[in-house]
Amino acid sequence: MVEESKTGWLTLIVVTLSVFIIVIDKTFLNVAISALIRDLNTNIQTIQYIIAIYSLIMASLMIIGGKIQNILGRKKTFLTGAFIYGVGTVIAAVSLNSAMLLLGWSILEGIGAALMMPATTSIISGSYFGERRAFALGIISSMASGAGSIGPLLGGFLTTYYTWRYAFALELVVIIIILLSSRVISPFPPTEEWSDFNISGAVFSASGLFILVMGVLLLNNPTNWNLVPYFIIAGIILLVIFYWNQKSRIKEGKSPLLDITLFNDRSFTFANIARLIMNFTIGGVLFVLPVFILFVLGADPLTTGISLIPMSLGIFTLSFTAGKVSTRISARYILSIGFLASMAGSIYLTLVFSPYTTILDMMPGILLLGVGMGIVFPHSANVVFSVARGDQQPDASGVLNTGINFGSALGTAVLGVILILGGFGSLTLNNGGYSSSSHVDLKDIPGKLGFGGSQSLMEINSGSLTADIKKINTMKDCFNVVTIILLLGLISSLLIPKPRKTSKTSTGGVTTHI
């Protein structure tokens, strides 16, 4: 057993900084879509690809990143990820075109995050014990929730008054602080050799997930539709091969990339499905809502970020209730309440979209979505970790984080396709959307949000009202899909077995990501 950290809470501070920037990184660019299109001379389809691929890279490599800890050691894996992430931030900050942003943000930062995230929980679990460990893991959860709240506001502010590039510059500063302070992290020794690494399993899992979501993204362009079935079928086949590959290695007594026996537990399986579905929702909603607010309602990025505050508040506030109610109410019922709340928000938004819609009109629905997410996120994670033995905690974390990022990527892909095929694909900054040349004054923001008679589509429309109504109907279609997906999440939560009379304890803890 590794001796408890002698550096007090410094280790916690250093690794928590990585969680903070990774979560912010997943949210701040969504409110800068119009600026990205302008600055990089690209289109909305390309930005959708870039956002989806960022989550997809993390999803594809999260299990691999968790396994590499055993070979390189936790600290070395964490610092390697931080260095790669830092290189990515530099390239992203100076991007001249969409290809540079894809390389720096989606690929390099995605790889760095996939190495850092699993190591973060492992370093904390190995550095603190007992109540100190529980406290440390709680701090990480709070930091993740807080970063999710700050991300859209930070991105909106910097994009409106300065440039989105500054957000990447701030991340680089944090990475430098992490690298310079890394001596406080205990040097966890490797426990396996490279010869133990399941290369074939890594290839099958990463390529299967990647190809599957890319198949959905290809729906953006009707000329690619003939390729879609091949991509989706190939992705599913590769994932099936991965499953049997892991099963075979376990039977032969070899080290698997992932302990698939975890899926023998229904609670583990359906809790992960519930979490994936809720992350599908947040990934998709955080793409389509900013597009509508930026391009159709003509709001600036800061106003767009402020409009998402109700969702962030719902997530942040409700995430703190996990410990208080989890011992009193069965997880299946808690998760069901969360899905019902988000379904109510989705249905509300479907009904509220009209030519007279303002941002203020949408806020109750956005809040309800966040309330549901705030309930499902921590409680689904608690179920996942409570059924895993101590030696299965790294694998449970890998599955959970893979589902989180795979769900986000899939949500961005699916709802983005509906959005683009429904008339948003031809959007430009000249058809009513926000332009950086417009003067933005803080005192004007309440009016833009809808306080005191904000402008609705009927009031700001400078183009074809018929085209705007088509976009409104497309938004309705998006949230109809969200409602159906959330219904599947509700069903999955009800399939979680009732708790056994004999309690099962587990070591480790839970980190809440969004």
| pLDDT-based confidence at residue 509 (cuts at 50, 70, 90) | very low
Tell me if 378 is assigned to some domain: yes
Tell me if 33 is assigned to some domain: yes
Tell me if 434 is assigned to some domain: no
Model confidence at 363: pLDDT above 60: yes
Q: Which alpha helices (DSSP H) does 387-436 contain, by range?
A: 393-419
Domain match, 210 and 144 both: no
Domain match, 251 and 155 both: no
Domain match, 122 and 71 both: yes
Q: Which pLDDT does position 33 carry in this prediction?
A: 86
Of 151, 172, 190, the domain-final residue: 190
Q: Which pLDDT does position 434 carry in this prediction?
A: 52
Model confidence at 52: pLDDT above 80: yes
Domain match, 363 and 245 both: no
Strand, helix or coil for residue 239: helix
Candidates 323, 337, 302, 300; CA nearest to 382 is 323
Q: Which pLDDT does position 141 carry in this prediction?
A: 67
Of 137, 170, 190, the domain-final residue: 190
Q: What is the DSSP letter of 195?
A: G
Q: Which pLDDT does position 110 carry in this prediction?
A: 93
Domain match, 252 and 268 both: no
Domain match, 409 and 347 both: yes
Of 241, 256, 271, the domain-final residue: 256
Most confident of 255-264, 299-308, 489-498: 489-498
Give the model confidence (pLDDT) of 287-327 as tens digits: 899 888 888 888 888 888 888 889 888 887 887 665 566 56
- Per-residue three-class SS string for 116-138: HHHHHHHHHHHHCCCHHHHHHHH
Domain match, 292 and 352 both: yes
Share of the chain above pLDDT 90, in %: 34
Domain match, 155 and 281 both: no
What number is the average pLDDT over the span 106-118? 92
Q: Which pLDDT does position 32 carry in this prediction?
A: 86
Q: Which pLDDT does position 430 carry in this prediction?
A: 46
Q: Which pLDDT does position 295 carry in this prediction?
A: 80
Q: Which pLDDT does position 431 carry in this prediction?
A: 47
| pLDDT-based confidence at residue 87 (cuts at 50, 70, 90) | very high
Q: Tell me how far apart the alpha carbons of residues 11 and 245 are, in angstroms, rounded to a whole number.
A: 37
Tell me if 508 is assigned to some domain: no
Q: Which pLDDT does position 456 carry in this prediction?
A: 55
Domain match, 251 and 307 both: no
Provide the CATH number for the domain around residue 106: 1.20.1250.20
Domain match, 108 and 138 both: yes
Tell me if 501 is assigned to some domain: no
Tell me if 123 is assigned to some domain: yes
Domain match, 137 and 282 both: no
Q: Which pLDDT does position 455 carry in this prediction?
A: 53
What number is the average pLDDT over the span 219-232? 85
| Domain of residue 57, residue span | 8-190
Q: Which pLDDT does position 457 carry in this prediction?
A: 53
Model confidence at 281: pLDDT above 70: yes
Q: Tell me how far apart the alpha carbons of residues 31 and 509 are, in angstroms, rounded to a whole number.
A: 32
Number of domains, the chain: 3
| pLDDT-based confidence at residue 503 (cuts at 50, 70, 90) | very low
Question: For residue 394, how many other CB atoms are within 10 A of its CB?
Answer: 23
pTM of the predicted model, to two decimals?
0.82
Domain match, 184 and 325 both: no
Give the model confidence (pLDDT) of 429-479 as tens digits: 444 455 554 445 555 555 555 555 555 555 555 455 566 778 888 999 999
Tell me if 504 is assigned to some domain: no
Q: Which pLDDT does position 322 carry in this prediction?
A: 55
Tell me if 40 is assigned to some domain: yes
